[in-house]
Structure 1
Amino acid sequence: MNENRIHQTAIIHPGARLGMGVTIGAYSVVGEYVDIGDGTRIGSQVIITGHTRIGRENRIFPFCSLGDEPQDKKYGNEPTKLEIGDRNTIREFCTFNRGTAQGAGITRLGNDNFMMAYVHLAHDCRVGNYTTFTNNASLAGHVQVGDYAGLGGFTAVHQFVRVGAYSFTAMGTVLTQDLPPYVLAAGNTAKPHGLNLRELKRRGFSEETVIALKRAYKLVYRSGLALKEAESRIMPLAADVPEVRHFLDFIHVRGRGIIR
């Protein structure tokens, strides 16, 4: 169905661009610089403002605020952006802020993500594809989240922290340092609790790959080695297993350091 369905109480700025088959519910507001792709469904009382681009076939539930000003005292009304990809589910009361001039200028959410109620994406965050954020998971500014990562309810992530692909946090986890790919974390502050084996199995990782990742994990977390020495021991594994190479490349970037 290519016809747009817009409730008579919705307020759509004449400058907003809507694709085909867009649905907008009662009392929602869409601003001047907003671009909404084909087939996206927006519930009632949703506010979408700023330079915000939303892709195709997203589902946005009531009471969300997307693309408003970043919560950053340095923000000076620069025309920064929020970009949302395709086929995302964004549940009630989510707040996604646009970027800052001091950062990348863009807050970005990829494709096929499942964002449960009250999720917050602060300015300049970059979230990949196929992630799951459970209720009240919150990212501070400049956080990066890899594909297939899962954040448990009430997870809080400090600014500039990286969350690796296929990783997972338990409910109430507080991340103040980077979480490597494939790793489970829990606690305040977060501690490692092995590999995210259930997700690796679900995504079809081979037994050989999982065994190699277990060896890499043990060298970092169970051997008692300094991180630099553990990295050197992992290198031979990384030469043969791309997933181990990804793990090694991630922990090699010092940044805020990894959880240990």
Structure 2
Amino acid sequence: MKQPLAYVHPESQVADNVVIEPFVTVDKDVVIGEGTRIGSNATILPGTRIGKNCRIFPGAVIGAVPQDLKFKGEYTTVEIGDNTTIRECVTVNRGTIARGKTVIGSNCLIMAYVHIAHDCIVGNNVILVNSTQLAGEVTVDDWAIIGGMSAIHQFVRVGTHVMISGGSLVRKDVPPFIKAGREPLSYVGINSIGLRRRNYNNDKIREIQDIYRYIYQKGLNTTQAIEIIEAEMAATPERDEILLFVKDSKRGIIRGYFPD
């Protein structure tokens, strides 16, 4: 259903049951899947791909060109999965030559005034709380929750099942399964509540806690901690995910917790 006061470019591909409210702009080279609703005054620009059953709230701008001086007009996209909600005044920029696309997964909640810059990769079931700002080429893995008014430095990666405190400045990579808070941003424990909600049992949570004791609480450097974990702890998907994340970190991981 398209309101007569909306503009939908004839070269866009919009499913028949998409609801487009008044004063929406849907430009050329846009694809919108079945069951999606586009709120009034939203702007959907070229290169945008929106999945099924998404909700785009008023004032959102999806697919604008990157705010990046290396962008030279190359063809890039924004890709949004199914069942994702994008609230008021969110801005999502297209990719650059670096990755070619900006991606938001399925079942995400992107709250009001969030900015997702060029070449970001946001996984599935992610929550970005109001006014969170992602700089270019940030990666946020599945099930992460980033508190409101947080700022994520370019190239940072946030691991799966992470919870980051509101108002955080995230300058380093945040490994999976943990909570992070304080300033500078630090490890403050395992995201045990979130893990239980996602059916991790107590034995698995204890295993994850033991891994992070070596990394953060035994006075070891990262290399020493990894060597001991590999030597003394049985290989499991969670152990290997943590070790691979730490080994692959380009910016280094956040620091441990040091009480005042």
Q: Normalised by the shorter chain, which TM-score bucket?
A: over 0.9
Structure 1 position 73 matched with structure 2 position 69: yes
Equivalent residue in structure 2 for 1:26, among 19, 22, 29 = 22
CA 1:238 to 1:78, structure 2 compared with 1: closer, same or farther past 3 Å?
farther
| Runs of 4 or more above 2 Å deviation | 236-241
Structure 1 position 43 matched with structure 2 position 39: yes
Unaligned runs of 5+ in 1: none
Counterpart residue type for residue 84 of structure 2: N
Which residues of 2 match residues 196-211 of structure 1 at below 5 A? 196-211=191-206
Counterpart residue type for residue 68 of structure 1: A
Equivalent residue in structure 2 for 1:90, among 86, 89, 97 = 86
CA-CA distance at 1:237 after TM superposition: 6.1
Structure 1 position 151 matched with structure 2 position 146: yes
Structure 1 position 224 matched with structure 2 position 185: no
CA 1:238 to 1:134, structure 2 compared with 1: closer, same or farther past 3 Å?
farther
8 A Cα contact 1:212 1:237, kept in partner: no
- TM-score normalized by structure 1? 0.96
Could you give the per-residue CA deviations for residues 52-84 of structure 1, whole angstroms, max 9, x where no partner exists? 111100001000000000000121111111000
Equivalent residue number for residue 170 of structure 1: 165
Counterpart residue type for residue 80 of structure 1: T
8 A Cα contact 1:180 1:247, kept in partner: yes
Counterpart residue type for residue 10 of structure 1: A
Equivalent residue number for residue 11 of structure 1: 7
- TM-score normalized by structure 2? 0.96
- Secondary structure (helix, strand or coil) at the match of 1:215 reads helix
Unaligned runs of 5+ in 2: 256-260
Equivalent residue number for residue 250 of structure 1: 245
Counterpart residue type for residue 38 of structure 1: E
Equivalent residue number for residue 60 of structure 1: 56
CA distance in 2, matches of 1:234, 1:20: 54
Give the percent of matched residue pairs that are identical in Structure 1 and Structure 2.
40
